[in-house]
Amino acid sequence: MRARVLLALLAACAISATAAAETVVIDGQLHVAPTTVPHPHRSQTMRQVEQRFGTPERRYPTVGQPPITRWDYRNFSVFFEYNRVVHAVVHAPTAE
């Protein structure tokens, strides 16, 4: 029984860790909404990101220590530490 509870808890943690969300402001209030925009996930390499999403629209020079690099794509920006993703930010939708 204990093993089942532990297994269920671990499975729930794994599922929640892969959830993606974006911050949205509605009527002046901050909300977190799920995002459906495909974007890179933590620990992917630069090579994996470029293979999956193509060449970025813009690459910024590396800054700081540890070295942080930013790549911009149409719908998101990716931040790398050395050559691994540490964060991806989904851009707000534009009014077109």
14 has pLDDT over 50? no
Q: Is residue 74 part of a domain?
A: yes
**How many angstroms separate the Cα of 21 from the Cα of each of 5, 25, 75, 76, 86?**
27, 13, 14, 13, 16
Domain for residue 73, yes or no? yes
pLDDT at residue 22, rounded to an integer = 54
How many distinct structural domains can be found in the chain? 1
Q: What range does the domain containing 72 cover?
A: 2-90
Residue 96 lies in a domain: no
Output the pTM of the full model: 0.67
Q: Please check whether residue 95 lies inside any domain of the structure.
A: no
Tokens of 51: 């293979």
Q: What's the pLDDT at 23?
A: 61
Least confident of 14-18, 53-57, 85-89: 14-18
Mean pLDDT (whole number) for 12-24: 48
Q: How far apart are CA 28 and CA 56, in angstroms?
A: 32
- Between these two residues, 49 and 91, which has the higher pLDDT value? 49
pLDDT tens for each residue of 28-76 = 877 676 788 899 999 999 999 999 999 999 999 999 999 999 999 999 9
